[in-house]
Structure 1
Amino acid sequence: MWCHVRPTPLEEYSKSLHNSAGHTEPMLFPMYTVPAKAILSMTTLEPHEALKLQGLLVEFDKTMGKALFVSHQWVGRRHPDPDFIQFSVLQEALRHLMSEVQYIDSWMALYDFVALPSVKPFATAELKSAPLFVWYDYFSCPQLEHLVSHVESGLMSDLAKAVSSIPLYVAECSFFFALCPVIESKDHSKLLGPQSWASRGWCRIERCCRELSPQGSWVMIRSAKQMELISSPVATLGFGSPGEGLFTVEEDRQRLGPVVLTTLQRKLRFLLQSGDLVGYRVLLNHQPLFLRGFHVPAMYDFVPGFEADPFKDGALTVSKFLYNNGFSKVTEVDKVGWTPLHYAGCRGDPDLVRALLAQRANPNVKAAKDNVMAGARSKWRVMTSVAACRHHEVARILIEAKAELSGTQLVGACIGNDPEGVRLLCEVGGVSPHAADYEGGYGVPAIHLACMYGATAALEELVAQAATHSSGSGMRQGSIDVSHALWLAPCFGNCSAELVNTLLDLRADVNEQFHLSVRNPVGLLVKVMALKHRFGKQTHFSRISFHANGATPLMQAVMGGQYEAAAALIARGARLDLRNSHGYTVADLAMGRSPPAFLVQAFEGQLAGCLRVASLAVGSTNGENGETEENENAMIEVHF
């Protein structure tokens, strides 16, 4: 049972912070926003200086209403949206949210429904509960100043001040939208969309700041009527660490490390002030994940007063860890059933894990409840977090310590898109590449979950491992049904053209129509959700479930808003005339969803746009387009 005879130093420290005022850092440049009403009436995008002269910019503070931070990529080299294509999607999305939609569902609706039911949809009423103001880099940050003169004089420019204040702007905002419609750059040299947005270092920084803000969740806009809530922290693993993103100016990568560390510390203090000790432990020990790619060490000594016991020098590492995590002993569990070893596994420190195991920490304890902050289900073992966080040395230590392994741990490596982790679990740990997640995962095979998470590298390693475990070739690739994987992949939030091409190269059937059996747990769940949809309880998940039987991968992609994947499927021969069991074609299913122009043209028989988009997507994946932006979110050549 989770209890203490006396409060731990962590609990006492947390209580001491309950009534203390949070540390407010000053913004170096005012937070300029534009009222939503003015946003909706714009027909062109003008820079900060022009809107300031027109009196449209407002210095925001929370007494005025609520603010929305818009993260996006620049379409042109010197202008964020020369043809007003991307911004018009934002306008239509805001109109849609404020008039027609009550809730935005999660990007991983099936995962959250099955594994983390406590994750709730976003109620759009919040957008209308107070006056809304929008932060957007081009008009919120100075654009026309001559930066070189500031650098030479040793002064920080206003642009640099604004950029350095971005974490504070994000924290001040009630909402965060990632504006990611699939469009071509102005010079038609590259494709912009969810995949490219998620790869950019600055976009990752903005996303990370949001995830570490008190609100945490955010919305991805794929089209004017296709939006998804990103609320599960497990999404962080799929979208990647900020320091591993692409930066046009390489020096920015290391300049931003301290910014992320400061943001982490701010969130840790917030969690302690609010008494969320589980969330505090999760974030404290996930710091290496957020800081990966930066040369900045994590800081773990948050609780004052630790004194080393001179008679326990050999246990100093463990004692200090327990003290800062609020545990009294190695075998203790907190209120979600996580042990010290669970949290040490997230940290990935081999010496710490060895020291805990030496004091008889059990690597096979299963969590009693969901740990939402970690994106972890009940029954979660230490090794699952280790695999998801790509801590390979710690994984080897746990394997040597006889940690029990199953398909669930293999799923962890897929969540982290980690081929080395897959190889380690299969070759050293003896896990079958055909294994499924039976610990709360409805028995879904690891390869299918890899596709759901868009984990192409993990998928390729699973297929390679399967080839060594069984004979056979062709469609099933050694008993792996790649056609079913292709059908599942576009149902969720991260299906790329690369993943589609990988599965098709493995000889998946681009036009196979699936019929789920109610004898299968997932099929039964889909049937139940389809009935709910029929009788009026409609969500993103229920709509996909209702149309699932007889649907093709292309239909799944369009319903899931996976437009890059849809273009790739059409380019590889997906038929547009097939109908699902309810008689709907892919064009019917796209109706009312505001798909991009290249798909609308394809429905009318003109495939050139999809062929071009599919080609650009492959070029982006292979790095052919490189980092050609001269102005990446108005932040190039900013010196802090």
Structure 2
Amino acid sequence: MGAALCTRSGVVASGQSTIHECRYPLWAVKVSDFLRMRGKPEAHDVLLEQGKLYQWFPGMFLIFISHQWLSTSHPDPQGRQIAVLQKMLEGLIDGSLQVHEDIVCRTAEHSLSSETRRKIADAFVFLDWFAIPQITARKPGVNEDATSSNAALAVQSIPAYVELSNMFIALVPELTHKDTLEVANYSTWLSRGWCRAELWCRLLSNKADTTVIVVHSNVQAEFMYPLDWQSNSIVEGDFTVEDDREQAVRLADMAVESKIGHLQTQGPLSHYRFYVALRFKLFRKETRGRDPEAFLQQFCFDTLQDAAQDKSSMNGLMCAVFSGDTDMLRLLAQARADMNYRLHGLAELGYYDSQTALMAAMKSHQAPCVLEALIELRSDVNMPDRLGLPALYMSRSAEHVKVLLDHRADTPAFVLEGPAAFASPDTVQALLAYRCDPSQDTRASPLHALSLLSRSNRRAVETAKLLLMSRADVNTRAARPMDNSPWQYHMARAKVAILGFSTCSMMTRLQAIAPGISPLGYAALVGHEQLCQLYLDHGAESFPNDGGDLPEDLARNNHHYHLLPLLSTFAT
């Protein structure tokens, strides 16, 4: 968007206008001042009186912080979230902390530039406690009605604040809520309705850079896995005030409309088609069928034959799959579309090269009838991707499992790993009922995959309990991955030893620690206390991986200090 000025009367914009109105001034704290703060953070009115708040101005490099509150009256009563963010920003500025792709992507292609790091040093931080008048923290004599009104206007302006931000950070270290004693982490952050609204406003912005940095600890920061937001609809979010749901959904709908309109005129065409196709699924609405003419017009194809024979990343087949349009799938098949089309060019949206249209239907949570239609039209249920993973591995529901098994899908020993990590316990139960044995995987255990990818899975503990009840071995050691040769392993160990965990990419870290690791080791690596406790309760031994790293060492290396008392108590 173009330069804009936040004032009490709204947004006065030059250039492209924002779709969200700024009803209250955007206030932020200088990074240099923020890094000097200690202990329990002060509220908006105190910082304003101290002259530490600055109103947004054109050219300000703004860092938006999205987080969960750790008590009902104060976001961070012990200053623990703030301490993590301070250390993280210091690491970004001095170059000691690298931000890499998420664990699923495992590439080293995406990182922060040196120019961005320089900008962070002179940037400003937006945190709701700092920036918004708080009724819970008002000073004596302050008019409550005025404070409440300003606070409401500021909350309504949050989508505009997100649009004005240059960087978006999800601050999600594993901590405990002071009042409820419930765990607060990445998966619970993803469940919150307003956190989802902030996230959607960022990702659906028309900015060139809409990346989201997820901060798990002082030394663990990664770019968000693309499917995490698509799998967490605002419609299904948790709202403290139920009336907020309608407002948040309305804001999200405006953001999607704006995104589609921007992509229609500015491109790329593949992304325009993707968001048009997936729109109803994002809002959990029933799929609406289109007549052939409307389909061709909406997705910019001249003829049905063009849509069927197109080889681009979002051809007619993929538009129909993401739309859940079974009638169009049949028409495209009649026009000789390839029902085993392999994806390409959609990796940044979470759909990776060599995966099939059937896999895309499953990953996007399409209804069973879409899978049935694809298989009826000759989609191969056992065609693997380039990693050797079949479609069954990517099941997202028990219904997906049933459809594929009814059509004779193979059940390799490792097939439980995917649903354990990405799907619900019901999905895993469907495979277990078909006599898939969690103890037969010679490479690892589904507990390994679940533990490593547990951060975004709010039902990870429930799934782990189910697997343990089905005789999954809590002490299974992972074999060296097939794509990790001995020289790669030793090279990765050397890099980690020399450069440190926080500097190395996730791919390097996993190459260094995966051989011989236990599920407990992975749970310690990602800082998941509930899983660590569950595994220990079921007889997990604190043994080292092939490189000699104990679970306690992995927790310490990644600054998950809250796990050390638990792991050291049970260490052998």
Measure, in 1, the Cα distance between the counterparts of 2:392 and 2:195.
24
Residue by residue over 1:379-435, the C-alpha shift from the partner in whole angstroms, topping out at 9 and shown as x without a partner, is 3433222222222232233333333322659966765732222222222x3323438
Structure 1 residues 414, 27: CA separation in 2 closer, same or farther (over 3 Å shift)?
farther
Measure, in 1, the Cα distance between the counterparts of 2:539 and 2:268.
51
1:605 — aligned with what? 569
Matched ranges for 1:338-417 at <5 A: 338-357=314-333, 360=335, 362=337, 364-367=339-342, 369-392=344-367, 393-406=369-382, 417=396
TM-score, normalised by the number of residues in structure 2: 0.83
Task: Report percent identity of matched pairs.
Answer: 25
Offset, 1:84: 1.7
Offset, 1:491: 2.8
Q: Does 1:573 pair with 2:549? A: no
Measure, in 1, the Cα distance between the counterparts of 2:229 and 2:521.
27
2:164 — aligned with what? 172
Structure 1 residues 368, 391: CA separation in 2 closer, same or farther (over 3 Å shift)?
closer
> Of 223, 229, 232, which residue of structure 2 is paired with 1:229?
223
Counterpart amino acid of residue 534 in structure 2: A
1:451 — aligned with what? 420
> Of 274, 288, 291, which residue of structure 1 is paired with 2:280?
288
1:310 — aligned with what? none
Matched position secondary structure for 2:101: coil
Measure, in 1, the Cα distance between the counterparts of 2:152 and 2:89.
30
1:276 — aligned with what? 268
Matched position secondary structure for 2:445: helix
> Of 544, 553, 557, which residue of structure 1 is paired with 2:510?
544
1:10 — aligned with what? none
Query: Is the contact made by 1:69 and 1:176 (CA closer than 8 Å) also made in structure 2?
Result: yes
Q: Which one is further off, 210-219 or 531-540?
A: 531-540
Matched ranges for 1:41-56 at <5 A: 41-43=36-38, 44-56=40-52
Query: Is the contact made by 1:514 and 1:548 (CA closer than 8 Å) also made in structure 2?
Result: yes
1:211 — aligned with what? 203
Measure, in 1, the Cα distance between the counterparts of 2:148 and 2:567.
52
1:9 — aligned with what? none
> Of 249, 262, 267, which residue of structure 2 is paired with 1:257?
249
Offset, 1:125: 5.2
Query: Is the contact made by 1:363 and 1:382 (CA closer than 8 Å) also made in structure 2?
Result: no
1:591 — aligned with what? 556
2:142 — aligned with what? none
Query: Is the contact made by 2:363 and 2:395 (CA closer than 8 Å) also made in structure 1?
Result: yes
Structure 1 residues 219, 563: CA separation in 2 closer, same or farther (over 3 Å shift)?
farther
> Of 398, 404, 426, which residue of structure 1 is paired with 2:405?
426
**What number of residue pairs does the alignment pair up?**
532
Offset, 1:318: 1.6
Structure 1 residues 450, 61: CA separation in 2 closer, same or farther (over 3 Å shift)?
farther
Query: Is the contact made by 1:384 and 1:408 (CA closer than 8 Å) also made in structure 2?
Result: no
Query: Is the contact made by 1:414 and 1:453 (CA closer than 8 Å) also made in structure 2?
Result: no
Query: Is the contact made by 1:363 and 1:398 (CA closer than 8 Å) also made in structure 2?
Result: no
> Of 467, 483, 494, which residue of structure 2 is paired with 1:503?
467
TM-score, normalised by the number of residues in structure 1: 0.75
Structure 1 residue runs of 5 or longer lacking an equivalent are 1-19, 148-152, 301-315, 436-444, 468-472, 517-521, 608-640
Q: Does 1:86 pair with 2:81? A: yes
Residue by residue over 1:251-300, the C-alpha shift from the partner in whole angstroms, topping out at 9 and shown as x without a partner, is 2222222211111122223334443111111112111232127x9x99x9
Residue by residue over 1:154-175, the C-alpha shift from the partner in whole angstroms, topping out at 9 and shown as x without a partner, is x993323222222222122121
Measure, in 1, the Cα distance between the counterparts of 2:538 and 2:221.
26
Q: Give the structure, 1 or 2, with the largest relative contact order (CA under 8 Å, sep 6 or more).
A: 1
Offset, 1:342: 0.9
Measure, in 1, the Cα distance between the counterparts of 2:16 and 2:251.
18
Measure, in 2, the Cα distance between the counterparts of 1:123 and 1:580.
34
Offset, 1:367: 3.5
Matched ranges for 1:23-172 at <5 A: 23-25=17-19, 26-43=21-38, 44-64=40-60, 66-101=61-96, 103-109=98-104, 111-113=105-107, 120-123=110-113, 126-129=116-119, 131-144=122-135, 157-172=149-164
Measure, in 2, the Cα distance between the counterparts of 1:229 and 1:374.
13
Structure 1 residues 334, 68: CA separation in 2 closer, same or farther (over 3 Å shift)?
farther
Counterpart amino acid of residue 55 in structure 2: E
Measure, in 1, the Cα distance between the counterparts of 2:296 and 2:33.
53
Q: Which one is further off, 345-354 or 185-194?
A: 345-354
1:438 — aligned with what? none
Offset, 1:324: 2.3
Measure, in 1, the Cα distance between the counterparts of 2:137 and 2:510.
51
Matched position secondary structure for 2:126: strand
Structure 1 residues 160, 356: CA separation in 2 closer, same or farther (over 3 Å shift)?
farther
Q: Which one is further off, 123-132 or 31-40?
A: 123-132
Q: Which one is further off, 42-51 or 367-376?
A: 367-376
Structure 2 residue runs of 5 or longer lacking an equivalent are 1-13, 139-144, 497-503
Counterpart amino acid of residue 183 in structure 2: L
Q: Which one is further off, 189-198 or 414-423?
A: 414-423
Structure 1 residues 524, 415: CA separation in 2 closer, same or farther (over 3 Å shift)?
closer
Residue by residue over 1:590-619, the C-alpha shift from the partner in whole angstroms, topping out at 9 and shown as x without a partner, is 33321132x121243279xxxxxxxxxxxx
Cα RMSD after superposing both structures: 3.4
> Of 426, 431, 441, which residue of structure 2 is paired with 1:462?
431
Structure 1 residues 112, 412: CA separation in 2 closer, same or farther (over 3 Å shift)?
farther
Matched position secondary structure for 1:584: coil
Structure 1 residues 127, 292: CA separation in 2 closer, same or farther (over 3 Å shift)?
farther
Structure 1 residues 224, 386: CA separation in 2 closer, same or farther (over 3 Å shift)?
same
Residue by residue over 1:144-203, the C-alpha shift from the partner in whole angstroms, topping out at 9 and shown as x without a partner, is 2999xxxxx9x9933232222222221221211111111111125311112211212221
